[in-house]
Amino acid sequence: MRHRPRGQHIIRFEGVGLRYGLGPEVLQDVDFALPAGSFHFLTGASGAGKSSLLRLMYLGLRPSRGRVTLFDKDIALTRRYELPALRRRIGVVFQDFRLLDHLSTLDNVALPLRVRGVKESEVQKHVPELLSWVGLADQMHSKPPTLSGGQKQRVAIARAVIGRPDLLLADEPTGNVDDHIAMRLLHLFEELNKLGTTVVIATHNQFLVDRFSQHSRLHIERGTVVEPEDEA
């Protein structure tokens, strides 16, 4: 086996391919590794496979081939009961939010804490704090169906970051908000990144990518992750 220094990378893809059912390979020969504490934009045309790549990263899918190593664990060799511990280190903002419609904003954001068994007093302290930070203090007891797209997005983001994840994966997290709020959310992600969280943001918002150009990019083209050509 190849020698590889441990703990350097949060996540590593080696020769990964993915197909849905019997369809063609959506991703192929994907090779990359993200150093701990790094910040990345994941770019690519619509349908390029950004969401699919994130799904592989948050263990929502298993690769059809190749190896995914997450927090130094080979996912193919990981037992089912070990998955929750890995998933708790990951915060995900889903492209379609995936909020639970029957739960209030507060309960939605509290979920990651509650599945960890965090004390209710802690939950009642931290969740409202974060909700006011993302500007939803007065929507605490509303349910998702009554919220606007942008508000839902912020609830989804709050739920992803409440557990202070080691890895934050966000799928088009600024798709439904105006640039002003998008900037604010990006700053939230940067704050988290400064505290040590590795961040990957899938986006097609060129304005943001340009505005935060100090961050590295993962670009998907023809089903694989490539080094982005610098803007011409």
Partner 1 sequence: MSLLSRRSDLPLKGDPNSRFLPWLVALMVYLSSIAVACVLVLAGLVERWDHDVSGTLTVQVQPVPGEAGELLTDDRVRQAADLMRRTPGVTAVRPLDKRQTLALLEPWLGSAELVKDLPLPRLIDVSIDTAVRLDLGGLADRLGKSVPGATIDDHRVWLSRLINLSRTTEWVAIAILVLIGFVTSATVVYATKTGMSVHRSVIEVLHLIGAHDDYIARQFADRAFSLGFSGGMIGLAMAVPTLTAIGWAAKRVEGGFLPSLSVPLSGWVVVGLLPVLAAILAMYTARLTVHGVLSRMP
Which positions touch ligand ADP (CB under 6 A)? 20, 23, 26, 44, 46-52
Distance separating alpha carbons of residues 69 and 57, to the nearest angstrom: 9
Q: Is 197 in the site for Mg ion (CB under 5 A)?
A: no
Q: Is 112 in the site for partner 1 (CB under 8 A)?
A: yes
Q: Is 76 in the site for partner 1 (CB under 8 A)?
A: no
Distance separating alpha carbons of residues 121 and 228, to the nearest angstrom: 46
**CB under 5 to 8 A by kind: which of ligand ADP, partner 1, Mg ion, none does 211 bind?**
none
Size of the site for partner 1 (CB under 8 A): 26
Distance separating alpha carbons of residues 200 and 213, to the nearest angstrom: 14
- Least CB distance from residue 38 to Mg ion, whole Å? 21
- Least CB distance from residue 100 to partner 1, whole Å? 6
Q: Is 224 in the site for Mg ion (CB under 5 A)?
A: no
**CB under 5 to 8 A by kind: which of partner 1, ligand ADP, Mg ion, none does 58 bind?**
partner 1
Q: How far is CA 152 from CA 11, 135, 171, 182, 185, in A?
A: 28, 12, 14, 14, 13
Distance separating alpha carbons of residues 89 and 65, to the nearest angstrom: 24
Task: Look up residue 134 and give its two tokens.
Answer: 């993302």
Distance separating alpha carbons of residues 97 and 148, to the nearest angstrom: 12
The answer to whether the Cα torsion of 133, 191, 226, 67 is positive or negative is negative
**Cβ closest to Mg ion, residue 95 vs residue 176:** 95
Specify the residue for token string 């088009």.
172
Which range touches partner 1 (CB under 8 A), out of 12-20, 77-85, 179-187, 195-203? Answer: 77-85
Q: Which residues bind partner 1 (CB under 8 A)?
A: 58-60, 62, 80-81, 83-85, 87-88, 90, 92, 98, 100-103, 107, 111-112, 114-116, 159, 163
Q: Which residues bind Mg ion (CB under 5 A)?
A: 51, 95
